[in-house]
Structure 1
Amino acid sequence: MSFVTSKPVGATGFGLMGFTWRPVQTPDEQAFATMKEALAHGANFWNGGEFYGSPEPELNLKLIQRYFATNPADAEKVVLSIKGGLDLQTLAPRGAPADIRRSIDNVLEHLQGSKYLDIFQCARVDPAVPIEETIAEIATYVKAGKIGGIGLSEVSAETIRRAHEVHPIATVEVEFSLWSTEILDNGVAKTCAELGIPIVAYSPLGRGFLTGQIKKPEDIPEGDFRRYLDRFQPENFAKNMDLLHAVEDFAAKKVGPDGKPVTPAQLALAWIHAQSGQNGLPVIIPIPGATTATRVAENMARVELSSEEKADIDEILRSSVVVGGRYNRHMEALLFQ
């Protein structure tokens, strides 16, 4: 248990993107049951986006609004973080004050008062606007009581420091998993630890790769975002399977709390939890997504790693080379700005 904007949150959070940013939308009945399951397991830090919708950007916000309108008692239980600050047509970063106002106002309008916005964060840093200007504008909403706090996403250690000088930063969100460990070496994790800022780890299961459910590129549905990412391209996919096979082999030998071998997903999440608050690192809250209650229950089964097991997994990472960028050449330019 840790604290975000003075509210306690569970060790594992919940990513909402997968409900709406995919070719086929998740029906409300299924989505609501999955969200209820997450909350029942203590995953009360929820992460959504103003642009997490296909074909309509705000579908994620509309789903969140419908959930809390239907389940008003859950509003106070959940810490809601929403990413925005992008052009909703091109998804280019927009950090100027007028653009920030448009984004936050749009989020609040879609929530319709059903849920307080605990954290707002720009999904990416606008390279044309000093981060100080962006944060100062978001801070006016905090001071007015319209939102609870400010988060950052995919930022450098320097940007974290500059932003934090303008207004305390509640969370820093970044991809972190067994195949995305950059924050351990580029100063981001160290800076967050120094400033007492929790890290929110998105895609902790490697966008589904580390679950073992995807065995070849063709297993990814047509129109799925992952088909455009470098690591899922055919020339890279087969090479990256070496890491997955090592994770699967390790998981098969480890017994979980239910007396059965742990799943690769559970092992991947256990490794992240083993980093959290240890060896000079900050609190790290993974936010695995899921569209079924069954998958939520699997992800929330807390698996502990011994120091020896963690060391063995770290050795797997040192000997496994992940091929391909986390996104693609165009989108990679906006990471760690």
Structure 2
Amino acid sequence: MEQRALGADVRVGAVGLGCAGMSGAYGSSADEEGGIATLRSALDAGITFIDTADHYGMGHNETLIGRALRPALRERAVVSVKFGALFGVDGRVHGVNARPDAVANFLGYSLQRLGTDYVDIYRPARLDPAVPIEDTVGAIAEMVRKGYVRGIGLSEVGAETIRRAHAVHPITDVQIEYSLFSRGVEDEILPTCRELGIGVTAYGVLAQGMLTGTWRPSADAARHRGHLPRFAAGNVETNLALVERLRRIATARGVTVAQLAIAWVLAQGRAHRDVVALAGVSRPGRIAETARAAELALSEDDLDAIEQAVPRGAVAGERYAPALLALLDSERTEGAR
């Protein structure tokens, strides 16, 4: 698989694996053996960036990844871990803790669950509004010096925060939502990352499933995605019509809508080889289809047709409800929709 650069030292496959769905996220069931098979199939296909968080399945996901990689496969994977999101026993989010004295605590638990003595990229899940980013990055940098972490990442932060963090320690990558339906990163965040030599790991490339081309409204879908404005009545019809426009282009190319959507994200980093598309796959049988998206070279005519089918701003609804958007540092960047 084509390699992409994250920062100065990390090289990974152009497509990465988002692992939340293996631990019950998005209404999926946690299938341990299936998850292990998926992770190993991904490595065999050249998908080497493995993205998790200590709150996925309340630690279950890290334990699963540890089982899949132990012992011989660890060096083949670049494991990225998000930390600091606080959840109650009721599953509700209670904020973020990215205080310096919490960094080593969270990391210690993650290393134990992963069954490894280092994490390749460690990042706060979100910006802690009570803690200067310099303090959080400085604490992670201490873990780098001690050998427990190899690279520092960020997640859902704006351009100013990226600059401040990078001034403390080189940042490897910024993880942020980027898809045909979410293009605000193009205004300031992506240019800032390129100026500083920071990679971008794009999550949500399939827009929470809508850009798979197979998603349809249902009672189950409403239960798990009903809080997202783009899935709300009045918006979902407009957005599914956009998907049908993409389907015509995908059919003409002999690919799926999902493959086209992933290939579009990768095309945005083609010249710089600095954008990795994270695909949430939880079944081994879907790995080959996902990996083939990295082989799909979109021509300028293809990209023009996609732009006409889904112009920026055509999607109906914001990516999150207003209360959640207000918590994202990345949304303070103008046009970050």
Tell whether the structures are fold-level matches, with TM greater than 0.5. Answer: yes
Q: How far apart in 2 are the matches of 1:190 and 1:119?
A: 21
The alpha-carbon deviation at position 165 of structure 1 amounts to 0.1
Q: Contact (CA 8 Å) 2:259, 2:290: kept in 1 or not? A: yes
Measured after TM superposition, the shift of residue 294 of structure 1 is: 2.1
Distance, in Å, in 2 between the alignment partners of 1:24 and 1:264 is 21
- Tell me which residue corresponds to 2:256: 263
Residue 40 of structure 1 is matched in structure 2 by 44
Selected match of 1:159 from 161, 167, 172: 161
- Aligned pairs for 1:239-278 within 5 A: 239-254=238-253, 261-278=254-271
Aligned to 1:103: 106
Q: 2:96 aligns with which of 70, 93, 114?
A: 93
* Structure 1 portions without partners, runs of 5+: 255-260
Aligned to 1:297: 288
Normalised TM-score (structure 2): 0.90
C-alpha separation in 2, matches of 1:233 and 1:154: 23
Offset at 1:26? 3.0
1:1-337 maps to which residues of 2 (within 5 A)?
1-4=3-6, 6-22=9-25, 23-53=27-57, 57-69=58-70, 72-89=71-88, 90-113=93-116, 116-185=118-187, 187-218=188-219, 220=221, 222=223, 224=224, 226-254=225-253, 261-278=254-271, 283-301=274-292, 302-318=295-311, 321-335=314-328, 336=330
Deviation of the 1:241 alpha carbon:
1.2
CA contact (8 A) 2:24 2:30 kept: no
Secondary structure of 2:87's counterpart equals coil
- Mapped contact 1:121–1:150 kept (Cα < 8 A): yes
Identity of aligned residues (%): 37
Change over 3 Å in CA distance of 1:273–1:319 after alignment to 2: closer
Deviations 1:149-194 (A, max 9, x none): 1100001011100000000001100000110111112x00000111
Using the TM superposition, name which of 307-316 and 159-168 deviates more.
307-316
Deviation at 1:8, TM superposition (A): 2.5
Partner of 1:257: none
The answer as to whether partners of 1:52 and 1:58 remain within 8 angstroms in 2 is: yes
What TM-score results when the alignment is normalised by the length of structure 1? 0.90
Aligned length: 320
Higher strand share: 2
In 1, Cα distance between equivalents of 2:218 and 2:156: 26
Q: Deviations over 1:73-93 (max 9, x none)?
A: 110000000111122323511
1:27 deviation in Å? 1.9
- Aligned in 2, Cα 1:124/1:320: closer, same or farther, shift over 3 Å? closer
CA distance, structure 1, for counterparts of residue 143 and residue 200 of structure 2: 22
CA distance in 2 between partners of 1:126 and 1:212 (Å): 36
Letter in 2 for 1:59: H
Tell me the alpha carbon deviations over residues 264-293 of structure 1, each in whole angstroms, 9 at most, x when there is no partner: 001001111211143xx6610001011112
Secondary structure in structure 1 of the residue aligned to 2:56 = coil
Contact residue 149 and residue 170 of structure 1 kept, 8 A: yes
Aligned residue for 2:76, secondary structure, equals: coil
State the distance in 1 between where 2:208 and 2:314 align: 18
Task: Say whether the 8 Å CA contact 2:4–2:12 is kept in structure 1.
Answer: yes
Kindly state the Cα deviation for residue 217 of structure 1 after the two structures are TM-superposed: 4.5
Q: Please, what is the CA RMSD of the aligned residues?
A: 1.8
Q: What letter is aligned with 2:323?
A: H
Question: 2-side partners of 1:228 and 1:319: how far apart?
Answer: 23
Q: Secondary structure at the match of 2:216?
A: coil
Conserved? CA contact 1:176–1:204, under 8 Å: yes
Which structure 2 segments of 5+ residues have no match?
333-337
Q: Hey, what's the Cα distance between the residues in 2 that align with 1:319 and 1:144?
A: 44
Tell me how far apart the structure 2 counterparts of residues 80 and 93 of structure 1 sit (CA, whole Å).
21
Q: Note the C-alpha offset of 1:262.
A: 0.5
Does the aligned pair in 2 maintain the 1:152–1:171 contact within 8 Å? yes
